[in-house]
Structure formats: C-alpha cells, structure tokens
Amino acid sequence: MKVEDRVRELVEEKISDRPDLFLVSISLQKNGRLAICVDGDEGINIQDCAAISRHVGYHLEEEALIEQAYNLEVSSPGIDSPLLLHRQYVKNTGRTIALKTKEGERIEGVLLEVTPDKIVLETSVKEKGKKAYAKQVSKAIDEIAEIKVIISFK
C-alpha cells in the first residue's frame, strides 16, 4: 500500500464523525515532508488539525510505513491556495474569485452558482465611454485550470 493511500484512510477515519470536514490533498515529498491539507465547510481550526496530526502520526509510527525521517504537517488551505475540490467551490459561493481557463483566459468575478458541471460568475464589464455593468459568465468545470479566492482588505 502506498503511504498516501494509508494516510488518506487515516484522515478519513479521524474525520468520519465530522461531516463538515474534508480532505483536500496529501503530498509526500522527497525531502520527507508529508503535507496533509484538510478543509471544512465552515473552515477548520487548529485543534482539528492537531487531532488529525496526532492520529496520523501515531499510526504511521506504529505501522512503520515511512522508513526515513519525515516531517508531518496538517493544515488548512492557505489564503492564496487554489480551490481544488467541488466542495471548496460551493463553500466559496458569494466570494470574489479569479478564474483561469485551460486556454489561458482570465476572468474575475463573484461566484454565484456551482453545479457538478459548471460555475456561474458575475463579472463587471466596462466598455470605453460607458458605465460598467454586471454580466453573468458560465464556465464548464472541465474548462477551468485554476480558481483562487481574491481576498480584499478594504
């Protein structure tokens, strides 16, 4: 069994009683860094991250799955992390996002709607000499290369 697969099982086991939490990603790097990213519909707190870390770390040690020294990190997605899962799209409905399509098109707007197949954004269009107006733009999920939430400090 691959280390990542066992870690996925351990995280899912630990959060099984918390339907609001979900695993985003697992990455085991050559330098021994094992990074686990977990999110929640209402966010995730440090206590949840610590509990997951203790659970995974204990079992990895007991089972001796990683032979070399490693550094285990459990965190939430960073403020500038791209959204990776449909559930993260849903969680961020109503927020301003920057979207990049696989063709390289960049769109910025408020995420209005998320379905399994597409997302709908409200963008602001400004034509020369005219007032800006709102326009809805729909993009198929499979056209999207990356989505990031835009944080405003206004």
Asked if residue 70 and residue 93 are part of one domain, the reply reads: no
| Claim: this prediction has a pTM higher than 0.85 | no
Where do the DSSP E strands lie in the chain? 21-28, 33-40, 71-75, 96-101, 106-114, 118-125, 133-140, 144-149
Nearest to 39 by CA among 11, 76, 2: 76
Q: Which domain holds residue 143?
A: 86-149
Total of domains in the chain:
2
Which residues neighbour 140 within 8 Å (Cβ) at sequence distance 6 or greater? 117, 118
Output the tens digit of pLDDT for each of the chain's 154 residues: 688 999 999 999 999 999 999 999 999 998 989 999 999 999 999 999 999 999 999 999 999 888 888 899 999 998 889 999 999 999 999 999 999 999 999 999 999 999 999 999 999 988 888 888 899 999 999 999 999 999 887 7
Task: Please tell me whether residues 93 and 124 are part of one structural domain.
Answer: yes
Q: Could you tell me if residue 80 is inside a domain? A: no
Query: So what's the pLDDT on residue 65?
Result: 84
Q: Among 143, 41, 120, which residue's Cα sits nearest to residue 87?
A: 41
How much is the pLDDT for 138? 95
Residues 55 and 90 in one domain: no
| pLDDT, position 147 | 96
Can you give the CATH number for the domain in which 143 is found? 2.30.30.100
Distance CA 1, CA 36 (A): 18
Contact call for residues 38 and 74 (beta carbons, < 8 A): yes
